[in-house]
Amino acid sequence: MGKFYALTSDEVTSLEKENQALVRSLAGECMVVLENDGALPLGKEERTIVLYGSGARNTVKGGTGSGDVNSREVVNIYEGLKAEGFNILSDDWLDRYDKTLEDATNAYMADINEKAAKQHVPPIMIMFSTPFVAPDEELITQVKDADIAIYVISRNSGEGADRYDVKKDYELDDNEVKNIQFLAANYKKTIVLLNTGGVIDTKVLRNTDGINAVMIAGQMGNIGGNIVSDVLTGKSIPSGKLTDTWAENYSDYPSSATFSHNNGNIDDEYYTEGIYVGYRYFDTFGIKPAYSFGYGKGYTDFAYEVDDVIADEKKVYVSVTVTNTGSKYAGREVIQVYVTSPEGAIDKPFKELRGFAKTSLLGPSQKETVTIAFDTASMASYDITRASYVLEKGQYIIRVGNSCDNTRPAAVLTLDRDVVTVKCRNLFGLDEAVEEIQAPKREKEDISGLKEIALDSSKFTTSVIEYQIDRPVLEDKRSGEKLTMDDVKSGNATLKELVAQLTLEEMANLCVGLFDHSASNVVGSASGSVVGAAGETIGIPDRKIIPTVNADGPAGLRLQPHFKTTADGQVLPGGEVFGLSRNPFPDDTPADAIDYYQYCTAIPIASTLAQSWDMELIEKMGHIVGTEMQQFHVHLWLAPGMNIHRNPLCGRNFEYYSEDPLIAGSCAAADTKGVQSFAGQGTTIKHFAANSQEDNRMYNNAHISERTLREIYLKGFEIAVKDSQPLSVMTSYNLINGIHSANSKDLLQGALRDEWGFKGFVMTDWFSSQDARSIGLAPANVKYDCASSPDCIKAGNDVQMPGSKQNVDDIIKGVEDGRITLGDVQFCALNILGVVAKCE
């Protein structure tokens, strides 16, 4: 009889209620008001409306793929408004759209199923590469007896496919445009809501007269409709700010010409924009965006005054008093501190975000003083010629504002000589030349009158990284005894002593996940005690080593909400996989089958959460997930995702936080603290690193310079590791400069462990060390090969997920052939058991 932690009743639990109430009370703060002429919030008398748009009833709760959390119900925007007492006069149009949508969904699934059957792969594999596109909307032709029109634009995306710069995706499509224009021309108030996980083109929204408010509602999880209605009615106050630059034109993004499929080359991606990602590019090269990074309006206005800037060789403190200058509504303001570093031998962006703080909810005329603190050394740039992080001598201008495009200089720090803050080793040599763009020469800025603070180069300290040289073989010094994990926990043995007793076969199995070859379980369902968990590590019962259960996120905990077992505990087929992919329970399901339930909360997606700029809020969301992990016995959450939004078309941007590494790292650390406040539970920050592309996601080679990697694509991971010590890290599918991330010792040992002090274990993304082409997960005609199993071990990629017998055999053979050593395998086993020792 299998042991399950799922519930045998499908009644809504008190935990579900509590978690949803908490999400509802917080999530409105993530919404970003882009435009508002006073139309929002709606007054108490404004309850008769028309509601249109593909997202009105088909509200996207989160993206697709493994990031899609299976929840009990989804409250769409229509339902949310209805529950609030709104009288909606556009049911006829919405009903017809429902039918169109249902027909389109059925046709899509029929096509997917047919292709899957032909290719002998599960339907979800085909769905990854050919996502569903919502059908055309009917044109709105009637004007109803209401003053207010709300129009919801939705976009969806997910793993396995990048978005396109085309109508109905990045661009609005013709019918959407006509419908918005019709509403704007015929109703007193027109409000447009963006139910998207990333950037879309906003030209029409900015250039159409008669649109009174535009708000990024984001993708809010399974009670999104309630959250939207709370915000529209002013019960919740939106106080989000953009964590990405929303460009005037897609072509303004520096990687737009070559990104993914845009240039027809999905094998190689050359990061020629270097460190100039997002606002670093727009700001430095003088390209005006539609909405800048850090921008967002809320329902009221604020004024802010810098009280003081204090700095020494260790810390910079900026204190700012913020006043709500409005007369009607409360709000929260985000104060952002950017620093302009001196132009020197190292090319630099015009300014970079170094710290931020959000006020509490301030009523009209209320004030609050916030202090933003950051390490002085965090302003250093990576100098490849010295293999070091360096603060170049010169002036560091501290700028304070409430968006990237609205800052004022507040002080200037002067450094007398160059300072090496960290002495490293160059780890990431390019495999092909990448010509990076350089900043234009800056105009001289008048900084007279600013407070000046002198920093003394002789008072800084330099840390020198020691890199691991070898992994000596652990000898069994207690051979007369049979040590177990219990001995380790009681202090009778060390982990090293336990590992020294494991055979190569035992360790090779430990370093490979609990694999299951049945096709229905390809992704998303481990075969153990938690059904719908994406994977498990194996246990060694006679050593009291337990398996760890790993389940997806990031928008909540993805489990199978309803499953059935035989009376003696065998899991039966049927149930949700993710999103549209569901397998009905077959007719021959035994009558005495036992039903189990695991309903989890779908929280807002990462890109929406980040817009809160509120790390306490994100920690609370992590805590929500932690409570459900505890209930259903999940050890590792395969989240948060924290890759950089290099280009708005990356299919997984919704699972990631921002274009800026400080935001990404801070959010991931906050999420981790929430989850890891429960003993024996951890996060798995992913996808390490530079997973910026979803087309040919498993075999694309990202060519990135050492400095760009360190300052942009690795920085967030570094912050999260140092600040929150996640129990686990998942490598990305892609190659970096010709080496699979999964196989890169420089990445996993040099940067992650030696430079940042990571103490947990590393796992691969699913099937990284298996030939994904043979199981329909990757196109056949790609340039690069899959990662190698022994090289994962050599790199210190401790667990290969979900794993195969071949992976185990290859590890053993690798030792026998001398490609890897027993010490390498022991090192991985030690890392795994270090985490297992913390789990119950």
Binding mask 764-803 for ligand BGC (x = CB under 6 A): -xx-------------------------------------
- Please, which residue, 33 or 698, has the CB nearer to ligand BGC? 698
SS3 109: helix
Strands of 549-552's sheet in order across:
535-536, 549-552, 636-638, 682-688, 728-731, 761-763
Residue 55 is encoded by which pair of tokens? 């997202």
Q: Does residue 337 interact with ligand BGC by CB under 6 A?
A: no
Q: Is 576 exposed, middle or buried (0-12, 13-18, 19+ CB in 10 A)?
A: buried
CA dihedral in degrees (383, 388, 391, 393; nearest 10)?
-70
- Please state the closest distance from residue 19 (CB atom) to ligand BGC, in A: 22
Binding mask 22-61 for ligand BGC (x = CB under 6 A): ----------------------------------------
How far apart are the C-alpha atoms of 639 and 765, rounded to whole Å? 12
Determine which residue in the list 16, 159, 383, 497 makes contact with ligand BGC, applying CB under 6 A: 159
- Please, which residue, 41 or 65, has the CB nearer to ligand BGC? 65
Residue 238's φ and ψ, nearest 5 degrees, are -70, 130
Determine which residue in the list 523, 634, 662, 828 makes contact with ligand BGC, applying CB under 6 A: 523
- Please state the closest distance from residue 520 (CB atom) to ligand BGC, in A: 14
- Please state the closest distance from residue 524 (CB atom) to ligand BGC, in A: 5
Residue linked to tokens 């028309």: 50
Find, among 564, 570, 560, the residue nearest to 594 by Cα: 564
Residue linked to tokens 């010792």: 745
Task: State the Rg of the chain over Cα.
Answer: 27
- Please, which residue, 487 or 552, has the CB nearer to ligand BGC? 552
Are residues 489 and 483 in contact, defined by beta-carbon separation less than 8 angstroms? no
- Please, which residue, 34 or 778, has the CB nearer to ligand BGC? 778
Q: Does residue 131 interact with ligand BGC by CB under 6 A?
A: no
Q: Does residue 534 interact with ligand BGC by CB under 6 A?
A: yes
- Please, which residue, 401 or 802, has the CB nearer to ligand BGC? 802
- Please state the closest distance from residue 684 (CB atom) to ligand BGC, in A: 8
Binding mask 628-647 for ligand BGC (x = CB under 6 A): ----------x---------
- Please, which residue, 524 or 674, has the CB nearer to ligand BGC? 524
- Please, which residue, 357 or 606, has the CB nearer to ligand BGC? 606
Q: Does residue 66 interact with ligand BGC by CB under 6 A?
A: yes
Q: Does residue 686 interact with ligand BGC by CB under 6 A?
A: yes
Q: Does residue 283 interact with ligand BGC by CB under 6 A?
A: no
Amino acid present at 253: Y
- Please, which residue, 190 or 607, has the CB nearer to ligand BGC? 607
Cα distances from 618 to residues 62, 422, 599, 607, 636, in angstroms, run: 16, 30, 21, 11, 18
Residue 55's φ and ψ, nearest 5 degrees, are -95, 5
Residue linked to tokens 């900043």: 439
- Please, which residue, 67 or 604, has the CB nearer to ligand BGC? 67
How far apart are the C-alpha atoms of 612 and 596, rounded to whole Å? 36
**One-letter-per-residue 3-state SS of 486-548:** HHHHHCCCCHHHHHHHCCHHHHHHHCECCCCCCHHHCCCCCCCCCCCCCEECCCEHHHCECCC
- Please, which residue, 319 or 696, has the CB nearer to ligand BGC? 696
Q: Is 345 exposed, middle or buried (0-12, 13-18, 19+ CB in 10 A)?
A: exposed
Amino acid present at 782: V
- Please, which residue, 127 or 404, has the CB nearer to ligand BGC? 127
Determine which residue in the list 80, 524, 640, 796 makes contact with ligand BGC, applying CB under 6 A: 524
Q: Does residue 162 interact with ligand BGC by CB under 6 A?
A: no
Residue 278 is encoded by which pair of tokens? 């997002």
- Please state the closest distance from residue 65 (CB atom) to ligand BGC, in A: 7
Are residues 400 and 337 in contact, defined by beta-carbon separation less than 8 angstroms? yes
Residue linked to tokens 């298996």: 770
- Please state the closest distance from residue 550 (CB atom) to ligand BGC, in A: 8
Residue 466 is encoded by which pair of tokens? 């020691």
Q: Does residue 552 interact with ligand BGC by CB under 6 A?
A: yes
- Please state the closest distance from residue 534 (CB atom) to ligand BGC, in A: 4
Q: Does residue 699 interact with ligand BGC by CB under 6 A?
A: no
- Please state the closest distance from residue 641 (CB atom) to ligand BGC, in A: 7
- Please, which residue, 341 or 643, has the CB nearer to ligand BGC? 643
Residue 458 is encoded by which pair of tokens? 């002789």
Find, among 92, 86, 91, 98, the residue nearest to 54 by Cα: 98
Give the interface size with ligand BGC as a residue count (CB under 6 A): 10
Cα distances from 382 to residues 386, 499, 663, 706, in angstroms, run: 8, 38, 19, 8
Residues that bind ligand BGC (CB under 6 A): 66, 159, 523-524, 534, 552, 638, 686, 765-766
